[in-house]
């Protein structure tokens, strides 16, 4: 098949959406498909309000139209709800092209944290966007149930994977400072609820790996926490493998690929029992979920690291991509 992936999220952004789409592209091409990514790279862009690290395409319609007309895809997947996603949706509607979409981010809650916009308004906009698609792909069954309850007409589950050759326990090393070593890895921004981790009164050493709009302010507010900035590749995997517990304080993530990456390194997870962790973590084996994050940390420190690795091995990008491709074929 000739498959067009239409997305506002792409390199040089570093997040779960980009990682998912890049790994999916790799697996699709390995299976013999031709993939065309329609992304902000060739466009004039402007910074996303309140989040300047993300650049959005300015007035992309005509160029997106030409790109898709020239490519003549057999299948179109619109991955995001931004300017390029809207242009891809419009192209499909005008050409009578059936398409699928995906729901990656809980924008209603994220927007509400930054502006006084009612959550129901944003959910209504998202429902309008996705109901034009043949199917809306979501990362977990919990998310599928929530969207169905909110009136989305066709949510289906599209899982995620992890590179278990890159993220592996053998990279474990020694971190400076007293143990246990508690680590958060991901975007440093208000919607991630990192303060819940930073406020924990626990012995040991805290580490925050990643960048984002709140990094500088958090560094100033918590001088005893080690903020090491973004890490990549095997360096990132080494940081994860070297910690004692992975603390995931977010209450709004739809999945959390970092959870799989931590577990693949043999790192047990401490998180809240909310969508995302509830679907990804095997409670009592690869992590502990508790409304008291401190109790979750204490419990996770007692878990078998080998069990965490075994759980992560069940999630491959090849399996997730086969699932993704089946939805395109049925559409």
User: 52-99 pLDDT, tens per residue?
Assistant: 778 999 999 999 999 999 999 999 999 999 999 999 999 999 999 999
- pTM score of the predicted model: 0.90
Residue range 116-135: average pLDDT? Answer: 90
Residue 323 has pLDDT above 70, yes or no: yes
121: phi then psi, degrees, rounded to nearest 5: -65, -45
- Reduced to 3 states (helix: H, G, I; strand: E, B; else coil), residue 109 is helix
Residue range 147-176: average pLDDT? Answer: 96
Residue range 282-305: average pLDDT? Answer: 98
User: 205-222 pLDDT, tens per residue?
Assistant: 999 999 999 999 999 999
Q: What is the pLDDT of residue 21?
A: 97
Gap between the Cα atoms of 47 and 50, Å rounded: 8
Among residues 283, 289, 285, which one has the least CA distance to residue 306? Answer: 285
Residue 244 has pLDDT above 90, yes or no: yes
Residue 113 has pLDDT above 80, yes or no: no
Gap between the Cα atoms of 58 and 163, Å rounded: 34
311: phi then psi, degrees, rounded to nearest 5: -65, -40
Domains by residue range for the chain, with CATH: 2-161+317-330 (3.40.50.2000), 169-312 (3.40.50.2000)
Q: What is the pLDDT of residue 50?
A: 67
207: phi then psi, degrees, rounded to nearest 5: -130, 140
Residue 107 has pLDDT above 80, yes or no: no
């Amino acid at each position: 098949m000739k498959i067009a992936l239409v997305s506002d999220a792409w390199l040089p952004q570093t997040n779960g959406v980009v990682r998912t789409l890049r790994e999916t592209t790799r697996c699709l091409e390995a299976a013999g498909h031709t993939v065309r990514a329609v992304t902000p790279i060739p466009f004039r862009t402007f910074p996303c309000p309140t989040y300047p690290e993300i650049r959005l395409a300015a007035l992309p319609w005509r160029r997106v139209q030409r790109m898709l007309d020239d490519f003549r895809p057999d299948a179109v997947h619109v991955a995001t709800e931004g300017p390029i996603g809207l242009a891809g949706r419009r192209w499909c509607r005008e050409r009578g092209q059936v398409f699928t979409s995906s729901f990656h981010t809980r924008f209603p809650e994220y927007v509400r944290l930054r502006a006084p916009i009612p959550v129901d308004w944003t959910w209504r906009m998202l429902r309008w966007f996705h109901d034009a698609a043949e199917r809306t792909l979501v990362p977990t069954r919990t998310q599928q149930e929530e969207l169905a309850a909110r009136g989305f007409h066709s949510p289906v589950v599209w899982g995620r994977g992890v590179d278990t050759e890159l993220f592996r326990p053998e990279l474990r090393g020694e971190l400076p400072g007293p143990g246990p070593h508690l680590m958060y890895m991901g975007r440093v921004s208000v919607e991630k609820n990192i303060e819940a981790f930073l406020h924990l009164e626990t012995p040991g050493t805290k580490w925050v790996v990643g960048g984002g709009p709140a990094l500088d302010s958090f560094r100033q507010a918590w001088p005893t926490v080690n903020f090491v900035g973004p890490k990549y590749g095997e360096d990132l995997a080494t940081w994860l493998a070297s910690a004692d517990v992975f603390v995931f304080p977010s209450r709004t993530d739809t999945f959390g690929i970092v959870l799989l990456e931590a577990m693949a390194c043999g790192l047990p997870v401490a998180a809240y029992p909310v969508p995302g962790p509830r679907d990804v973590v095997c409670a009592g084996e690869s992590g502990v979920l508790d409304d008291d994050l401190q109790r979750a940390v204490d419990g996770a420190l007692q878990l078998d690291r080998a069990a965490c690795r075994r759980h992560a091995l069940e999630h491959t990008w090849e399996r997730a991509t086969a699932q993704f491709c089946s939805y395109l074929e049925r559409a």
